[in-house]
Amino acid sequence: MTKLLYITAHPFDELVSNSMAGGKAFIESYQENHPKDEVKHIDLFEEYIPLIDKDVLTGWGKAANGESLTKEEQTKIDRLSDILEEFLSADKYVFVTPMWNLSFPPVVKAYIDAVCVAGKTFKYTSEGAVGLLTDKKALHIQSRGGYYAEGPGADIEMGDRYLRTILTFLGVPSYTTLAIEGHNAEPHKAEEIKIAGIQEAKELGKTF
Ligand SMILES: Cc1cc2nc3c(=O)[nH]c(=O)nc-3n(C[C@H](O)[C@H](O)[C@H](O)COP(=O)(O)O)c2cc1C
């Protein structure tokens, strides 16, 4: 059975957030058009996503040497491992994030750090690192106040480009971006921009 992870990184829902409105339109359309697929929602603002900190680095070192870990080290490492295993078990990834300071909320980076693990999602070879997620696909839905999909904004946008780069590094061969953007730059077009984004999200739900 195909499994899709619906990974959202927003403190609010679709009534407040354009990103979440796009995400909701996508996921409803996806479920309607792929009724047999399993969809798992991961709400990054609700779930515990440990940062790679001193406990984690020390714990990994101890585990490699067969030494016993503190409770804190074990808890964080077990949770990171669970996040990784769930990521590996999925076929498709949908990230929903708002643009914050040219990127995405920091919990997205924490999540990515949890799933970038040598020997699991990529491996080192004599030719360099090779991604192992070669049978997956990804979609990123993001709302932005200004314009970044093309023009001068494209050079300074760092959230979508980071996600694309890191997932490509992990071997994911297909990555699509849905940017719902420009409503702060052109407030008179805000409703039109949102409606077009939702429509595009619904279409992607049929084909993704
Ligand atoms: C903390 C924060 C940082 C933001 N940074 C940017 C930015 O760098 N560029 C931009 O165009 N808009 C920025 N915005 C505006 C949001 O991208 C815009 O409101 C977008 O719609 C957010 O997505 P949402 O509707 O899903 O919340 C920022 C908003 C917040 C709250």
Q: Which two tokens stand for residue 156?
A: 């300074």
Instruction: Say if ligand 1 is within 6 A of residue 15 CB.
Output: no
Ligand 1: which residue has its CA nearest to atom 31? 100
Question: Cα-Cα-Cα-Cα dihedral of 25, 145, 168, 54, to 10°?
Answer: -110
Any idea what the CATH number is for the domain that residue 196 is in? 3.40.50.360
- The percent of residues in the chain predicted with pLDDT above 90, rounded, is 100
User: Probe ligand 1: pick from 99, 101, 108, 193, max atoms within 8 Å of CB?
Assistant: 99
Please write the tens of the pLDDT for every residue from 73-123.
999 999 999 999 999 999 999 999 999 999 999 999 999 999 999 999 999
Residue 42 alpha carbon to ligand 1 centre in Å: 21
Distances (CA, A) of 71 to 68, 115, 140, 192: 10, 22, 36, 52
Residue 32, C-beta contacts closer than 8 angstroms, at least 6 positions apart: 205
SS3 letters for 56-81?
HHHHHHHHHCCCCCCHHHHHHHHHHH
Are 116 and 83 a contacting pair, CB within 8 Å? no
Domain count, the chain: 1
Amino acid at 190: A
Give the domain extent around 84: 3-206
- pTM: predicted TM-score of the whole model, two decimal places: 0.98
**What distance in angstroms lies between residue 66's CA and the mean position of ligand 1's atoms?**
46
* C-alpha pair distances (Å), 127 with each of 123, 132, 143: 11, 14, 38
Beta bridge partners of 177: 140
| Termini Cα distance of the chain | 15
Residue 142 exposed, middle or buried by CB count within 10 Å (0-12, 13-18, 19+) = buried
Q: What spacing in Å lies between the alpha carbon of 145 and ligand 1's midpoint?
A: 5
Q: Quick one: pLDDT at residue 34?
A: 98
Per residue in 22-61, pLDDT (tens digit) is 999 999 999 999 999 999 999 999 999 999 999 999 999 9
State if residue 126 touches ligand 1 by the CB under 6 angstroms criterion.
no
Q: State pLDDT tens for residues 137-173.
A: 999 999 999 999 999 999 999 999 999 999 999 999 9
| 146 touches ligand 1 (CB under 6 Å) | yes
Known binding site for FMN: residues?
17-19, 99-102, 143-146
179 contacts 148 by C-beta, under 8 angstroms? yes
| 191 sits in which H/E element | helix 190-207
